[in-house]
Amino acid sequence: MKKIFKIAGSIILILIISIAAFLYFTSKPLPVGQEGTKAEALTDKIQTAINQKAWDTTTVVSFTFRGNHHYLWDKKRNLVQVKWDDKKVLYNNKTLEGVAYENDKKLNNSQKTDAIKKANDYFNNDSFWLIAPFKLRDAGTTRSIVMQDNQEALIVTYASGGSTPGDSYVWLVDENYMPKAWRMWVSIIPIGGLETSWEDWKTFPNNLKIATSHKGLLDLKLENVKTAQSIEEINNGQDPFTDL
């Protein structure tokens, strides 16, 4: 028995050392960029390519993230509906006030608070994979330009906002300034510089461009993406937020 424990301990130690070595040799430091007019000019070109103005005037978005998180988002009213498993949460993503259901039964007190918090954490993460290119100039961001793979790239750092402030992303763009990938330096991933693609760009009303697929360490898909100017347009003529 002692021999078995000794072998198991050795295997665990080898795994720990291997993981530590992988992280050490794979992780890269965040490159140092230069803020100023060049960075802002590159930001302008990216925003033109994806049609930032169309996004800013879009009122409602719906989408499914990785097949099991379903969202209906009224940007104008700051209202979000999140469905997953047997849960449904409708809330204001500025005040975090709302209602929550489990198996269509209304939750109260701490259960409701916990459900709204989880829904908001899901929303902050999942929606970022949909709309990050439209958040290059959010309040609390800084932008700088850096050379990556012999071309100019844009570093965007978030000093505040979302569930994980302080994260940085290096955007790589194609010849038309459409984002094709980013490299991440984020608190929830121990490997600095991990790259994930932005692809399968779809065109929505007013020539709005949204990427619906990401490939990297994990492959992520955004399905059932719709945009509109009212909830009723993409929700069978119903407004689910009347109870709020």
pLDDT at residue 16 is higher than 80 = no
**Comparison of pLDDT for 23 and 177, the residue scoring more:** 177
Residue 241, pLDDT above cutoff 70: yes
* Confidence check: pLDDT of 4 > 50: no
* pLDDT > 70? residue 207: yes
User: Which residues form the domain of 213?
Assistant: 31-243
How many domains are there within the chain? 2
Contact by Cβ (8 Å): 61, 227: yes
Q: Are residues 125 and 217 located together in one domain of the fold?
A: yes
Separation of alpha carbons 35 and 155, rounded Å = 9
Q: Note the pLDDT of residue 242.
A: 92
Tell me: do 4 and 61 sit in the same domain: no
Same-domain check for residues 24 and 139: no
Same domain? 50 vs 67: yes
pTM: 0.85
Q: Do 76 and 184 sit in the same domain of this protein?
A: yes
What does the alpha-carbon distance between residue 241 and residue 235 come to, in Å, rounded to a whole number? 11
CB 68 within 8 A of CB 224: no
Same domain, 23 and 43: no
Q: Mean pLDDT, to the nearest integer, of 108-136?
A: 96
Same domain, 168 and 135: yes
Residue 13's pLDDT band (boundaries 50, 70, 90)? very low
Tell me which residue of 94, 95, 100, 126 sits closest to 113, measured CA to CA: 100
Q: How far apart are CA 115 and CA 78, in angstroms?
A: 18
148 shares its domain with 204: yes
In this structure, the answer to whether residues 123 and 15 fall within a common structural domain is no
| Same domain as 110, residue 20 | no
140 and 122 within one domain: yes
Q: How confident is the model at residue 189 (pLDDT cuts 50, 70, 90)?
A: confident
Report the pLDDT value the prediction gives residue 25, as an integer from 0 to 100. 42
Same domain for 59 and 2, yes or no, is: no
Strand order in the sheet with 194-197: 141-148, 151-158, 168-173, 179-185, 194-197
Look at 90 and 6; give whichever has higher pLDDT: 90
Question: Given this model, what pLDDT does residue 49 score?
Answer: 98
The CA distances from residue 145 to 60, 102, 181, 182, in Å, are 32, 47, 15, 14
The residue assigned the tokens 């898909």 is 221
Give the per-residue pLDDT at 6: 35
